[in-house]
Amino acid sequence: MKKGRLIKGIGGFYYVDVEGEIYECKARGIFRQKKITPLVGDYVEISITDEQKKVGVVEKIMERSTELIRPTVSNVNQAVIVFAVIQPEPNIMLLDRFLVLAESQELEIVICFNKVDLATTEAYMPIADRYRAVGYKVLLTSAKNEVSITDLRKVLLDKTSVFAGPSGVGKSTLLNKIHPNLQLKTGEISAKTARGKHTTRHAELIPIEKHSWVVDTPGFSALNIDFIEEEALALYFPEFDEYMEECKFSSCQHVDEPSCGIKNALQQNKIAKERYHSYLQFLQEIRSNRRF
């Protein structure tokens, strides 16, 4: 038996990375009987049927720590959320939406503001600082001029990361810089559309280094947050944490309740008004989708 990581699945075959060697595996019939489907990202045990041909059988699937949907990948533990400082102009509420999604999946989070070659420091520092103040790790990169690519590579070490962010911000370009063998298609919007909207491509894990992988397709393409409970939303704004204890009511949702720690902190500029604004917007969305 060997331990490995399932990095790709095609037509009933599973490709398992065992310390850098890839084995083509079938899954034991028992999985099908039990209606268990091996997922890309699974840590597995395989038995080798032919060492020379690198062929084996998936015998055991280890318990999954997380399971992302769209793309369906297990055991992802980090989200790298990419926005451009300009072109396209960062949509702050959309960034907060990505953050809430990543927080709700209990992922570690890195924010990457890309295309710094196109703007002045004065233009993007305030936003970077705002998210650093929340406590997030923020990288300022230029995929084009190779700025802070080493830092990006460093945060990927010993993690399984999914890149997320809107179209055109440079996710593929960054991944190609990190791992030149990747050759992900960049900026070919017309070609992508030609492939058809409904073509589902299965995600793959790309080994970056030993014990470091990235998912080859961006995560969180569905930006719906209405599965989140109203009461849980504030927990996904990490900077709210210390002030929530000061709310008079334990059920406080920080909207118009009296003696609210969050609103006090907001008045004292300890919480950014843009972040609170996103919170209110998301809360409203969740409430309006609430089913009785």
Ligand X SMILES: Nc1nc2c(ncn2[C@@H]2O[C@H](COP(=O)(O)OP(=O)(O)OP(=O)(O)O)[C@@H](O)[C@H]2O)c(=O)[nH]1
Where along the sequence are the contacts to ligand X (CB under 6 A)? 114-115, 117-118, 142-144, 167-173, 186-187, 218
For residue 254, state whether it binds Zn ion (rule: CB under 5 A): yes
Phi-psi label, residue 19: left if phi above 0, alpha if psi -120 to 50, beta otherwise: left
| Bridge partners, residue 58, by sequence | 27, 46
Which of Zn ion, ligand X, none is residue 115 near (CB under 5 to 8 Å by kind)? ligand X
* Distance of alpha carbon 172 from alpha carbon 177, whole angstroms: 9
| Bridge partners, residue 111, by sequence | 81, 138
Annotated binding site: 114-117, 165-173, 247, 252, 254, 260
For residue 283, state whether it binds Zn ion (rule: CB under 5 A): no
Return the number of the residue (213 or 236) whose C-beta is nearest Zn ion.
Answer: 236
Quote the radius of gyration of the chain (alpha carbons, Å): 21
Q: Which range touches Zn ion (CB under 5 A), out of 74-82, 185-193, 259-267, 281-289?
A: 259-267
Which of Zn ion, ligand X, none is residue 260 near (CB under 5 to 8 Å by kind)? Zn ion
Return the number of the residue (25 or 162) whose C-beta is nearest ligand X.
Answer: 162
For residue 157, which amino acid is it? L
For residue 260, state whether it binds Zn ion (rule: CB under 5 A): yes
Which of ligand X, Zn ion, none is residue 247 near (CB under 5 to 8 Å by kind)? Zn ion
**From the CB of residue 273, how many other CB atoms can be counted at a distance below 10 Å?**
10
Q: How far is CA 229 from CA 102, 113, 223, 244, 269, in A?
A: 15, 29, 15, 17, 27
* Distance of alpha carbon 126 from alpha carbon 138, whole angstroms: 12
Which of Zn ion, ligand X, none is residue 142 near (CB under 5 to 8 Å by kind)? ligand X
Q: Which range touches Zn ion (CB under 5 A), out of 3-11, 29-37, 253-261, 269-277?
A: 253-261
Return the number of the residue (162 or 260) whose C-beta is nearest Zn ion.
Answer: 260
* Distance of alpha carbon 24 from alpha carbon 50, whole angstroms: 10
Annotated binding site for GTP: 114-117, 165-173
Return the number of the residue (172 or 278) whose C-beta is nearest ligand X.
Answer: 172
Return the number of the residue (64 or 144) whose C-beta is nearest ligand X.
Answer: 144
Return the number of the residue (83 or 240) whose C-beta is nearest ligand X.
Answer: 83
Which of Zn ion, ligand X, none is residue 262 near (CB under 5 to 8 Å by kind)? Zn ion
Q: Of 282, 227, 228, nearest to 254 (Cα)?
A: 282
* Distance of alpha carbon 228 from alpha carbon 281, whole angstroms: 13
Contacts of 183 (CB under 8 A, 6+ apart): 176
For residue 239, which amino acid is it? E
The site for Zn ion (CB under 5 A) is made up of 247, 252, 254, 260, 262
